[in-house]
Amino acid sequence: MTSHPWSAGFETLPGEHDYRVDEVDGSVPATLRGTLFRNGSGRNDLGGQWFAHWFDGDGMISKIRFDEAGIHYRNRYVATDNYRDETKSGRIVHRGFGKMRPYGVLGNAFRQPANISNTSVVMQGERLLSLWEGGPPTALDPATLDTHGIEDFRGVLKAFSAHPKIDPDTGELFNFGIDYGAKTTLTPYKLDRGILTRLPQVVLPYPVMNHDFVLTARYMVFCLGPILLHPLRFMLGFKSFDRALHWEGSKPTRILLVPRDGVGEPRWIETDAFFQFHFANGFEDDGAVVLDLARYPNYSTIGEALRTYWRSAWPSRGMAALTRLRIDLGTGRVEKQTFTSGAANEFPSINPAYIGKRYRYAYFASNPAQREIGLQQQISRLDFETGAVTSHDFSPAGYVGEPLFVPTRAGGAEDDGVVLVMVFNSADKRTDIVGLDARDLAARPLFTARLKHHVPYPLHGTFTPRLF
């Protein structure tokens, strides 16, 4: 382990736990009742060998229940084939995003990365779906976190992104998958009342990696940066998926607008090359589409940091800045506005009632502008109307994950809620569950619940008012 204080937060959590959280500073608001689910890489090494990429870690679900009695924590690994096989063998058995099987080219040729179900979760009816980019979701019991198995909706879908969007008015869930082959295709999906519909596929001009999209009133919008895959190098076993990616900055970022009703042709608009993992939101406004995202100038800095995650310095230079793009649908012109919102902006989230609508506030992980290295230690709020940024700083020992906004009053104001975040405390190598007042992030936390152990840095999550 290196000397970086944040590095220990990547260490594997070997055990599965189930207990009432006893150490709580402050108090959980009476209006915060429900269950927070988080997913991420829980096992990042095996047999003394760190996995080659942060995205290789086996999926582990944390369930945090807020009820009248307080806070309850439970975690379970998603019992994928990869998890079971490698647990039994005690060594790497399957290809991953960055890891390779033993036996060189022959051991890897024509083998797809195993589905490790480690990126996000979404509630669908009575099931919790654990999500991963390269394959279908895995269905779990939301109460016990027991794994039921792969859910491909009777063979309708293959890849299914980790960032579905739910229309707050209709309840429809939209998502997409990218499938690689002789042609690379993007397939949009709509899930409504348990019925999955495959919308018309879009053939992409070249094989790209893409993680997220924006849902507006009429469109699914994608920003496809020129992070390209060498399919033959990957398929023939010479390189992992990660090592087969390359940044081709001479190509533009292609903005793709797909009609969400499945009627009509998709539209392409080109702009300067950039990369993004995550959007905050988007909406339509007076003949334009507005997109808010964490924009990287290219893939080089973040790509290398993700490969060396546990020993990386996580430099701020070359990381993302919260940016607004305004796309004129008449002319195709793209205007850019970058906000003064500190360094290393990532994991933006909003009040879910405003998905696809004009909104005012985004919450995100960040660092102070002058900080040159390190994982994010702040949770910040940007007011898009005024440009004002408010932050809660967890330094010197706290390192934050994705903030999640939970509305706490039906019909309340946009910022009437609690921002939930998991914070790794490097001083004692434990993780805290923290609730911040969304209206006053800089204030003392509403509550800090101290777990008995650390939770390896999770990626994404969801909150439901249901108690599981």
The rounded distance, in Å, linking the Cα atoms of 39 and 62 is 6
Domain boundaries, the chain: 7-100+202-464
What pLDDT is attached to residue 78? Answer: 98
What pLDDT is attached to residue 2? Answer: 57
The rounded distance, in Å, linking the Cα atoms of 126 and 136 is 18
What pLDDT is attached to residue 1? Answer: 53
Mean pLDDT over the full length of the chain: 97
Average pLDDT over residues 96-105: 95
Tokens 């070359």 found at? 318
In DSSP terms, which residues pair with 223 in a beta bridge? 255
Predicted confidence (pLDDT) per residue in 135-155, tens digit = 999 999 999 999 999 999 999
Residue 432: name the closest of 444, 447, 443 by CA: 447
The rounded distance, in Å, linking the Cα atoms of 38 and 61 is 6
Predicted confidence (pLDDT) per residue in 167-176, tens digit = 999 999 999 9
Would the CA dihedral through 153, 156, 160, 164 be positive or negative? Answer: negative
Indicate if the pLDDT at residue 3 is higher than 80: no
The rounded distance, in Å, linking the Cα atoms of 463 and 41 is 19
pLDDT interval class at 411 (50, 70, 90): confident
Length of the chain: 468
What pLDDT is attached to residue 410? Answer: 85
Average pLDDT over residues 432-454: 98
CA of 68: how far to CAs of 157, 262, 418, in Å?
40, 45, 17
The rounded distance, in Å, linking the Cα atoms of 365 and 374 is 12
Predicted confidence (pLDDT) per residue in 345-401, tens digit = 999 999 999 999 999 999 999 999 999 999 999 999 999 999 999 999 999 999 999
Residue 60: name the closest of 87, 33, 34 by CA: 87
Residue 222: name the closest of 230, 232, 208, 212 by CA: 212
Q: Could you give the angle at the alpha carbon of 10 between the alpha carbons of 9 and 11, nearest 5°?
A: 95
Average pLDDT over residues 227-252: 96
Predicted confidence (pLDDT) per residue in 322-343, tens digit = 999 999 999 999 999 999 999 9
CB neighbours of 40 closer than 8 A, spacing ≥ 6? Answer: 57, 59, 60, 118, 119, 401, 455, 456, 457, 458, 459, 460
Indicate if the pLDDT at residue 41 is higher than 70: yes
Inter-residue long-range contacts of 56-59, CB under 8 Å, 24+ positions, other chains counted: 56/96, 56/97, 56/98, 56/99, 56/116, 57/12, 57/116, 57/118, 57/456, 58/82, 58/83, 58/86, 58/116, 58/118, 59/83, 59/116, 59/117, 59/118, 59/119, 59/130, 59/132, 59/138
Give the number of other CB atoms < 10 A from CB of residue 206: 13
By the 8 A CB rule, do 202 and 220 touch? Answer: no
7-100+202-464 fold: Methylamine Dehydrogenase; Chain H (2.130.10)
pTM over 0.75? The answer is: yes
The rounded distance, in Å, linking the Cα atoms of 133 and 130 is 11
